[in-house]
Chains A and B, each alone.
Chain A
Amino acid sequence: SAVISQKPSRDICQRGTSLTIQCQVDSQVTMMFWYRQQPGQSLTLIATANQGSEATYESGFVIDKFPISRPNLTFSTLTVSNMSPEDSSIYLCSVEEREQFFGPGTRLTVL
């Protein structure tokens, strides 16, 4: 299975600022996804990161708030923009190789 890393592993940010999360995979993959897990909750899909084109966002998530880049088949970034305390969550990337495998997550706290 693919080995997935994320940076940063955790961060504490001030409201109104932005944070970019990186996801690196050790092999080329077609499908990459970004999920959010709010405190004590389940995982919710934010978007599918498409290589060479705009990401496909799920209902309730917009590009202005969560811009995503996918410059190649091994890397993607998710930016959380203009943050508020409600954005405090774990953000996880995943890849599809018949089944989905997840990165270790980025734990974000917004003050």
Chain B
Amino acid sequence: GIQVEQSPPDLILQEGANSTLRCNFSDSVNNLQWFHQNPWGQLINLFYIPSGTKQNGRLSATTVATERYSLLYISSSQTTDSGVYFCAVAGAGSYQLTFGKGTKLSVIP
């Protein structure tokens, strides 16, 4: 099956700093999503981005499908950004999502 690798596994930021999270995947995808899991366990949809670039406030994402990677940018980080960020993909012809192991982000005041 498709493999998903996220880096870095852990990240500690000072409030106000910027960061880039990376997701590499092993095969062609028809779905790529970024999620934020808050401390209460809720998965929040950030981006549906199988290709291209999207922005939503302080967050933006880029997927280069031909090179099999996606990047999530967080600018001017806030303590409420803390949590685990997951990248999940579905291979061509599939609906089932395969999740990466996540990046645990801690933003300190």
Contacts from A to B (Cβ < 8 Å): 1, 31, 33, 37, 41-45, 48, 58, 90, 92, 94, 96, 98-102, 104-105, 107
Contacts and interface: CB of A to CB of B under 8 A. Distances in A.
Interface string B33-47: 101000001110100
24 contacts: A1-B45, A33-B96, A37-B41, A41-B101, A42-B86, A42-B99, A42-B100, A42-B101, A43-B86, A43-B88, A43-B99, A45-B97, A48-B95, A90-B41, A92-B43, A96-B95, A99-B45, A99-B48, A100-B33, A101-B45, A102-B42, A104-B41, A104-B42, A107-B41
B: contact size bracket: 10 to 19
Interface string B74-108: 00000000000010100000011111111000000
Interface of B: 31, 33, 35, 41-43, 45, 48, 86, 88, 95-102
